[in-house]
């Protein structure tokens, strides 16, 4: 490969950001400034450098975190270090919404304007307030996974703070103040643009790690950026946070746990009562008994337990987990991989975030069990880029587990080697599709691959890969501790075990609910506080379908929802009362799919655009007036469902179709 | 006597194609099987010298038991499969793909597109006059070839030909996402500032005329491009000793473009800048 790099040079900051991920360059062949005599005698790099292409995404994050955007010089330097063609690097950088290849303000406020939050007004108000502040930009964002306490927003500040800031210790239990030195106040409390003092911030911020990405590769402890999640966000708190994310409160919010304290909980058992930073506390709450049992019974028996438990994947596809593991374990090719899909980006979904923030060690343990069962020695945890607190807690949990011999060369002294690497997504819903996720980790555009071959045969880096959702993996722990038979006794015959539901929208107590499979929609809604004027429920998120308010007797099981002509998806229950304008909700869903289509196949790339256009045309029309466009929507929707490459295009018409057919949206 | 190496024997896969028992060598795609059986399945992003990306979805066929339709160009035939190539479902998806494409890009120089639009009853106009289109201006930034992305269907063929499948120059890639995705060189720069080596192999594989010789582009603009008046002569390139085959397209005794036969076992249709573009000396008669 004879790559041509342009004349653009990286700035010192950009060079430092890339070097923090990749280490200093070894020779002029991979970007060192000084060429020595040896460099002239032989070429270095080649296959070894290309073998590190999976560091392209961490490298782009490093550039983006340090300077706020990806410049020509920075991108070229990163590409030279990894022997990635600059055109391909540019193609990857422009794929993700969190990166920009044009200069932009160092601080970006991203306000969720999706189904639940609908923060378009908030976005406008914050934009107006911050219009005169240099270095701050405001953007509308798709669902940030903060639906239970929206409107949500993320403030991202690139670059180190003006004054060195003490590294925050990992937060302790909810509500407790962080230990260590108090935050240094950098400057006087900022004033709002109209000159009025801004009230002190409520304790609702979640501060991101501010370290270099790449989980432990270089940049130890040095703050290169700040990420802050706010929910509920107000114009006041957002303005304050945008002006100075560092001094904004770093206290974690009390996790809204509607069922806290109930003994019947299995998946949420520890959340809220265990210290997410403490491995000892996790073990005191029953942690690592599942892994010990796994070692005691051996990989084949673990797979048998998982198969017998009847566990179905909780990410939306409901594929039998035991069968997936068995198929992966049986492949002769090496190495095998375990991938945890934590790219939860479906509007209305936030259960995985609650699990990862509240019980991070459980996911680490579950991934280790999965790795042991399928014969993998490496696990990748692909976490969506908008979850700074989950990133921080999982990084801490993995480091602690590694330090205590629960990850590494000799897990629990059993001679089994396993380690986990976290990969941060960069704003692309499509990367939750399993094969797109592999491409994203490998440093390619997050476009889905065509199946077959399936991931169990040819997945990450071409190896057999077991790819599971966070909730699926966490279910493996109770299967091993209570035994397959006891687990399978929970729920129904076909849908076994407990299930997490993300309830949001027009309910009194939005949040994550854990119920055994088989509870009805009505039971769940009454737990969460069903409104009197309920109009419709969106089951399964944007890719799911609407059901009517009088269909609350639908059992929340895979087979029950299927029989009712809808889907359970990943467990989203989004309630709409009769004040919500349905055509506008449908437009937002269509806009979401248009934005998030990767653009690879024609039915989805153009079809999602035509769907949105048709919905715009009929937004205020009904009956015969809308008939033309509804026929057109049906035609386009059918082609998207039948001919798209992946699930995104195949489901992009579900919600709209169900709104037309079940709710009579345009009658 | 020259020994002729024999390929290892290949097993045959038996399956049903439109109700007829069919046998194809293991590894053959459904499209291979269709072509062997004389069935005309439309294709756009499939190319004879490249691994198909199955992005256009115009070749979809129905595999019994499958929830979705399968791209014939890249789905391998499996024993016992039952495949239908011309059902209401396949015709519907093909019609919609043609409508969606024709309403968003210019298919006027795509061979056979007009005929397929008639055959499948596609009405690209029904999305209305305001339907989003690419609306790209042709990029004319060098004297050799023009990039007219208003005609681009994002088939990825040029990317694959420039990249690891043939040329290994990696000058172009897909940038952006969704409807805004475009073929671009690094930093979306002009071609002259990019890694492009002007081999023109991307033009060779472009199925829609989005990439074309500057000579062809200018003649089309002037209204003098007339394929029926052109003759094609395949000869050997005179520049070096490799012996690549050139097909000279001649109109009015002038070479108007150069292609290369895809069935040539050495070059498979690929050329270098000299073979592809270095023909002016032939017609300098002074």
For the stretch A151-193, pLDDT in tens is: 999 999 998 875 544 444 444 444 343 444 433 333 333 334 3
Identify the domain boundary among A577, A602, A617.
A577
Which residues of chain B are within 8 Å of residue A636 when distances are taken between CB atoms? 96, 100
Is A479 in the same domain as A621? no
Q: Which of A658, A661, A657 is nearest to A635 (CA)?
A: A657
Which residues of chain A are within 8 Å of residue B195 when distances are taken between CB atoms? 3-4, 85-87
B155: distance to nearest CA of chain A, Å? 8
Cα A236 from chain centre: 27
Q: How confident is the model at residue A196 (pLDDT cuts 50, 70, 90)?
A: very low
What are the helix (H) ranges across A421-550?
Answer: 434-442, 470-482, 484-488, 521-528
Q: Using one digit for the tens of pLDDT, what is the confidence trace for A485-507?
A: 999 999 999 999 999 999 999 99
Identify the domain boundary among A551, A577, A603.
A577
Q: How far is residue A523's CA from residue A519's CA, in Å, rounded to a whole number?
A: 6
Which residues of chain A are within 8 Å of residue B88 when distances are taken between CB atoms? none
Mean pLDDT of chain B: 94
**Which residues of chain B fall below pLDDT 70?**
1-2, 286
Judged by CB atoms closer than 8 Å, whether chains meet at A6 and B193 is answered as: yes
3-class SS of residue B177: coil
In a domain, A186, yes or no: no
Around Cβ B130, how many Cβ atoms within 10 Å? 9
Which residues of chain A are within 8 Å of residue B53 when distances are taken between CB atoms? 600
Q: Using one digit for the tens of pLDDT, what is the confidence trace for B125-149?
A: 999 999 999 999 999 999 999 999 9
Is A480 in the same domain as A526? no
Is A427 in the same domain as A472? yes
Average pLDDT over residues A68-77: 96
Residues belonging to chain B? 286
Judged by CB atoms closer than 8 Å, whether chains meet at B56 and A601 is answered as: yes
In a domain, A170, yes or no: no
Query: B11 and B79 in contact (C-beta within 8 Å)?
Result: no
* Of residues B126, B174, B186, nearest to A632 (C-beta): B126
* Of residues B53, B54, B186, nearest to A86 (C-beta): B186
Would you state the pLDDT for residue A261? 67
Q: How confident is the model at residue A343 (pLDDT cuts 50, 70, 90)?
A: very high
Q: Per the structure block, which two tokens stand in for B177?
A: 């996402």
B163: distance to nearest CA of chain A, Å? 9
Q: Domains in chain B, please, with CATH?
A: 12-86 (3.10.20.740), 139-283 (3.30.70.20)
pLDDT exceeds 90 at position A205 = no
Is A356 in the same domain as A374? yes
Q: Which of A376, A423, A422 is nearest to A402 (CA)?
A: A422
In a domain, A177, yes or no: no
User: Is-cis flag, bond preceding A633, omega within 30?
Assistant: no
Share of chain B above pLDDT 70, in %: 99
Query: B208 and B153 in contact (C-beta within 8 Å)?
Result: yes
3-class SS of residue A392: helix
Longest dimension (CA), chain B: 69
Average pLDDT over residues A559-580: 94
Would you state the pLDDT for residue A149? 86
Cβ neighbours for A553, distance < 8 A, ≥ 6 positions apart: A520, A521, A522
Assign residue A566 the CATH number of its domain: 3.10.20.600
* Of residues B60, B153, B185, nearest to A643 (C-beta): B60
User: Is-cis flag, bond preceding A452, omega within 30?
Assistant: yes
Query: Which of A301-305, A316-320, A641-645 has the least mean pLDDT?
Result: A316-320
Residue with tokens 């930034």: B141
Q: Per the structure block, which two tokens stand in for B80?
A: 């016992």
A91, closest residue in chain B (CA to CA): B175
Would you state the pLDDT for residue B189? 94
A633, closest residue in chain B (CA to CA): B127
Query: B17 and B83 in contact (C-beta within 8 Å)?
Result: yes
pLDDT exceeds 90 at position A311 = yes
Mean pLDDT of chain A: 88
pLDDT exceeds 50 at position A204 = no
Cα B54 from chain centre: 12
Range of the domain at A614: 582-663
Is A605 in the same domain as A558? no
A148: distance to nearest CA of chain B, Å? 29
Is A380 in the same domain as A443? yes
Average pLDDT over residues A367-377: 98
Q: Which of A606, A616, A630, A636 to mutate to test the interface with B (most CBs of B within 10 A)?
A: A606
pLDDT exceeds 90 at position A6 = no
Share of chain A above pLDDT 90, in %: 73
pLDDT exceeds 50 at position A32 = yes
In a domain, A210, yes or no: no
Average pLDDT over residues A622-630: 90
Number of domains into which chain A is organized: 5
Q: How far is residue B219's CA from residue B208's CA, in Å, rounded to a whole number?
A: 17
Q: Using one digit for the tens of pLDDT, what is the confidence trace for A510-551?
A: 999 999 999 999 999 999 999 999 999 999 999 999 999 999
Average pLDDT over residues A550-559: 95
Which residues of chain A are within 8 Å of residue B75 when distances are taken between CB atoms? 452
Strand partners, B230: B251
Query: A432 and A343 in contact (C-beta within 8 Å)?
Result: yes
Q: Give, in degrees to the nearest 5, the angle at Cα A318 between A315 and A323.
A: 110
Q: How far is residue A249's CA from residue A12's CA, in Å, rounded to a whole number?
A: 31
Is A378 in the same domain as A465? yes
Burial (CB count <10 Å: 0-12, 13-18, 19+), residue B135: exposed
Q: Which of B44, B132, B178 to mutate to test the interface with A (most CBs of A within 10 A)?
A: B178
Q: Using one digit for the tens of pLDDT, what is the confidence trace for B265-278?
A: 889 999 999 999 99
Identify the domain boundary among A455, A489, A523.
A489
In a domain, A190, yes or no: no
B94: distance to nearest CA of chain A, Å? 8
Is A352 in the same domain as A243? no
In a domain, A294, yes or no: yes
Judged by CB atoms closer than 8 Å, whether chains meet at B92 and A642 is answered as: yes
Q: How are beta strands B182-184 and B173-175 bridged, if at all? A: antiparallel
In a domain, A573, yes or no: yes
Assign residue A385 the CATH number of its domain: 3.40.50.11540
Would you state the pLDDT for residue A183? 38
Is A526 in the same domain as A485? no
Is A445 in the same domain as A328? yes
In a domain, A178, yes or no: no
Tell me the range of A36-50, A214-228, A520-534 where mean pLDDT is highest.
A520-534
Helix-strand-coil split of chain A, %, nearest 5: 40, 15, 45
For B138, which DSSP code? P
What are the helix (H) ranges across A70-135?
Answer: 72-82, 86-93, 120-130
Cβ neighbours for A217, distance < 8 A, ≥ 6 positions apart: A20, A21, A22, A23, A58
Q: Per the structure block, which two tokens stand in for A64?
A: 């983006």
pLDDT exceeds 50 at position A436 = yes
Residue with tokens 């029950």: A560
Would you state the pLDDT for residue B249? 97
Q: How far is residue B246's CA from residue B270's CA, in Å, rounded to a whole number?
A: 10
**Chains A, B: CB pairs < 8 Å:** 166
Q: Which helix (H) or strand (E) segment is A306 a member of? A: helix A299-309
Q: How confident is the model at residue A426 (pLDDT cuts 50, 70, 90)?
A: very high
Which residues of chain B are within 8 Å of residue A428 when distances are taken between CB atoms? 177
Judged by CB atoms closer than 8 Å, whether chains meet at A613 and B127 is answered as: yes
Q: Per the structure block, which two tokens stand in for A277?
A: 């930073």
pLDDT exceeds 90 at position A552 = yes
Would you state the pLDDT for residue A48? 75
For B51, which DSSP code? -
Average pLDDT over residues A196-206: 40
């Amino acid at each position: 490969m004879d790559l041509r790099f342009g004349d653009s040079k990286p700035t010192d900051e950009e060079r430092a950001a890339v070097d923090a991920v990749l280490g200093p360059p070894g020779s002029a062949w991979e970007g060192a400034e000084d060429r020595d005599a040896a460099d002239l005698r032989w070429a270095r790099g080649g296959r070894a450098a290309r073998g590190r292409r999976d560091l392209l995404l961490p490298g782009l994050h490093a550039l983006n975190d340090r300077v706020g955007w990806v410049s020509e010089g920075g991108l070229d330097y990163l590409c030279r270090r990894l022997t990635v063609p600059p055109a391909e690097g540019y193609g990857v950088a422009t794929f993700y919404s969190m990166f920009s290849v044009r200069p932009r303000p160092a601080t970006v406020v991203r306000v969720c304007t999706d189904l639940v939050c609908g923060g378009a007004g908030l976005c406008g108000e914050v934009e107006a307030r911050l219009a005169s502040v240099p270095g701050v930009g405001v953007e509308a964002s798709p669902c940030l996974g903060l639906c239970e306490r929206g409107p949500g927003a993320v403030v991202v500040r690139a670059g180190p703070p003006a004054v060195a800031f003490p590294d925050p210790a990992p937060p302790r239990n909810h509500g407790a103040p962080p230990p260590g030195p108090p935050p240094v106040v950098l400057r006087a409390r900022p004033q709002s643009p109209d000159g009025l003092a801004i009230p002190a911030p409520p304790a609702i911020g979640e501060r991101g790690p501010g370290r270099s990405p790449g989980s432990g590769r270089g940049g130890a402890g040095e703050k290169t950026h700040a990420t802050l999640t706010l929910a509920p966000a107000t114009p006041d708190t957002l303005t304050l946070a945008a002006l100075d994310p560092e001094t904004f409160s770093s206290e974690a919010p009390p996790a809204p746990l509607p069922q806290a304290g109930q003994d019947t909980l299995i998946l949420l058992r520890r959340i809220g009562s265990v210290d997410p930073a403490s491995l000892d506390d996790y073990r005191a709450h029953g942690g690592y008994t599942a892994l010990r049992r796994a070692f005691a019974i051996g990989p084949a028996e673990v797979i048998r337990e998982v198969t017998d438990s009847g566990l179905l994947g909780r990410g939306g596809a409901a594929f039998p987990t035991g069968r997936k593991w068995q198929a992966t374990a049986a492949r002769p090719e090496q190495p095998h991989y375990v991938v945890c899909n934590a790219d939860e980006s479906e509007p209305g979904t936030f259960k995985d975030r609650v699990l990862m923030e509240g019980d991070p060690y459980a996911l680490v343990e579950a991934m280790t069990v999965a790795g042991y069962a399928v014969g993998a020695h490496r696990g990748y945890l692909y976490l969506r880029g908008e979850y700074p607190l989950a990133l921080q807690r999982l990084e801490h949990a993995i480091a602690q587990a590694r330090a205590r011999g629960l990850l590494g060369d000799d897990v629990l002294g059993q001679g089994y080697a396993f380690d986990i690497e976290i990969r941060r997504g960069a704003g692309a819903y499509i990367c939750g599709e399993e094969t797109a996720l592999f491409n994203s980790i490998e440093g390619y555009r997050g476009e889905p691959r065509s199946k077959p071959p399936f991931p169990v045969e040819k997945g990450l880096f071409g190896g057999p890969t077991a790819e599971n959702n966070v909730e699926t993996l966490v279910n493996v722990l109770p299967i091993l501790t209570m035994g397959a038979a006891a687990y399978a006794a929970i729920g129904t015959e076909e849908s076994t075990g407990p299930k997490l539901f993300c309830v949001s929208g027009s309910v009194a107590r939005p949040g994550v609910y854990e119920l055994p499979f088989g509870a009805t929609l009505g039971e769940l809604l009454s737990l969460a506080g069903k409104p009197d004027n309920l109009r419709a429920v969106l089951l399964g998120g944007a890719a799911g379908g609407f059901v009517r308010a009088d269909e609350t007797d639908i059992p929340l099981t895979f087979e029950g929802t299927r029989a009712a002509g809808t889907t359970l998806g990943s467990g989203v229950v989004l309630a709409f009362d009769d004040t919500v304008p349905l055509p506008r909700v449908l437009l937002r869903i269509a806009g979401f799919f248009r934005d998030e289509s990767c653009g690879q196949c024609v039915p989805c790339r153009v079809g999602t655009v035509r769907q949105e256009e048709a919905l715009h045309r009929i937004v205020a029309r009904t009956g015969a007036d809308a008939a033309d466009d509804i026929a057109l929507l049906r035609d386009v929707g059918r082609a998207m469902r039948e001919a798209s490459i992946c699930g995104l295009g195949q489901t992009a018409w579900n919600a709209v179709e169900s709104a037309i057919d079940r709710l009579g949206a345009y009658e | 006597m020259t020994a002729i190496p024999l390929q290892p024997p290949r097993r045959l896969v038996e399956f049903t194609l439109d109700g007829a028992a069919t046998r194809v060598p293991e590894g053959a795609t459904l499209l291979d099987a269709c072509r062997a059986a004389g069935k005309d399945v439309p294709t756009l992003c499939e190319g004879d010298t490249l691994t198909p990306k199955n992005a256009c979805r115009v070749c979809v066929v129905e595999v019994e038991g499958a929830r979705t339709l399968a791209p014939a160009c890249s789905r391998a035939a499996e024993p016992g499969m039952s495949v239908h190539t011309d059902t209401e479902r396949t015709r519907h998806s093909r019609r919609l793909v043609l409508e969606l494409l024709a309403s968003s890009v210019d298919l006027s120089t795509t061979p056979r597109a007009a005929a397929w639009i008639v055959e499948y009853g596609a009405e690209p106009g029904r999305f209305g006059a305001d339907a989003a289109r690419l609306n790209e201006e042709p990029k004319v930034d060098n004297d050799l070839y023009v990039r007219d992305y208003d005609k681009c269907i994002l088939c990825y063929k040029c990317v694959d030909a420039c990249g690891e499948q043939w040329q290994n120059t990696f000058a172009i890639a897909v940038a952006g996402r969704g409807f805004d995705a475009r073929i671009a060189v690094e930093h979306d720069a002009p071609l002259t500032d990019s890694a492009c080596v002007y081999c023109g192999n991307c033009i060779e594989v472009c199925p829609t005329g989005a990439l074309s010789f500057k000579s062809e582009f200018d003649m089309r603009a002037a209204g003098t491009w007339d394929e029926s008046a052109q003759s094609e002569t395949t000869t050997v390139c005179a520049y070096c000793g490799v012996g690549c085959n050139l097909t000279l397209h001649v109109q009015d005794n002038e070479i108007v473009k150069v292609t290369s036969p895809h069935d040539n076992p050495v070059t498979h249709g690929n050329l270098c800048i000299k073979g592809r573009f270095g023909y002016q000396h032939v017609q300098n008669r002074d």
